[in-house]
Amino acid sequence: MIGAGTVPPHERRRALRAALASGVLLRFPGAFAPIVAKLIERQGFDGAYVSGAALAADLGLPDIGLVTQSEVVARAQAIVRACTLPVIVDVDTGFGAPLNAARTVALLEEAGLAGCHLEDQESPKRCGHLERKTLVPAAEMVRRVRAAAEAQTDADFLLIARTDARGPEGLDKAIDRAKAYVDAGAAMIFPEALQDEREFEAFRAAIDAPLMANMTEFGKSPLLSRKALAGLGYNLVIYPVTTFRLAMKAVEDGLRDLDEGDDQPGLLPRMMTRAHLYDIVDYASYGRFDSAIRDFSEE
């Protein structure tokens, strides 16, 4: 097989579970496209994260639950195929009732994902760092988590429960919800939109399960360093929209300069070269494969 994605899904999941057990903070930047996952892997990160917000924005949509289950699964599968890293994906509220959450997990396992996270917002959801979020009752989210957990065929698939309760209900209720989600079968907890380092610390003290931190820019949470997060006892950190924001700022600046200055040669130093792009997508191995097929002859 040519190209990347040659590590079987079960091996990626097993490796992720082992890495989580090591106590080292794992770092998962956002990959909004397969080629970004290749760059994340080259840089030596531990995994790649597929953000619902970034995927929605890439489709020109707001992050309010408009992206469909099939769109998320297809993009996530393409990202899995592009790298050998474990990939975690955001599946919002699971795309419907508990049965829908169960089917989502089944589809993600088939697509090679290493894990996913479900949240406890009502559908349609809102970005986790906006106001006026509304939640389903804790019992309803417990049913979502339980259904998703029972749908797993690989015990190493990482089922993450996200709670958005910090804003609408307060820190204590968010912790109570997180405990119930662990009891329902979640292997990791994602407390969204915590407001200061003390709250990150309180979650770690209260929850006997691995924790994921969200270091999204321009949000409600402080941007803590990896050293700080490791010191707080967090197990995994995502940078969900960082690569998308970097890319879009560069594109916008380049288009403005092209329009106002009409100086394409002046843009070249800001571009990835053709040679480097071809190296990232492994152009040469496809060429060698094609040549070998063309030159094949039966003895």
From the number of C-beta atoms within 10 Å of its C-beta (0-12, 13-18, 19+), residue 84 rates as middle
Residues 86 and 109: beta-carbon distance below 8 Å: no
Catalytic residue among 90, 109, 156, 199: 90
208 catalytic residue (yes or no)? no
At residue 287, the 3 state secondary structure works out as helix
Catalytic residue among 63, 109, 164, 199: 63
259 catalytic residue (yes or no)? no
169 catalytic residue (yes or no)? no
Catalytic residue among 46, 127, 177, 235: 127
63 catalytic residue (yes or no)? yes
298 catalytic residue (yes or no)? no
Catalytic residue among 12, 46, 49, 234: 49
196 catalytic residue (yes or no)? no
Catalytic residue among 46, 120, 164, 192: 192
SS (H, E, C) 4-72: CCCCCHHHHHHHHHHHHHCCCCEEEEECCCHHHHHHHHHHCCCCEEECHHHHHHHCCCCCCCCCCHHHH
Distance CA 226, CA 157 (A): 24
Catalytic residue among 17, 103, 117, 144: 117
117 catalytic residue (yes or no)? yes
162 catalytic residue (yes or no)? yes
Catalytic residue among 214, 235, 239, 245: 214
Catalytic residue among 41, 46, 119, 156: 119
Catalytic residue among 12, 17, 162, 245: 162
Distance CA 51, CA 30 (A): 6
List active site positions. Answer: 49, 63, 90, 92, 117, 119, 127, 162, 192, 214
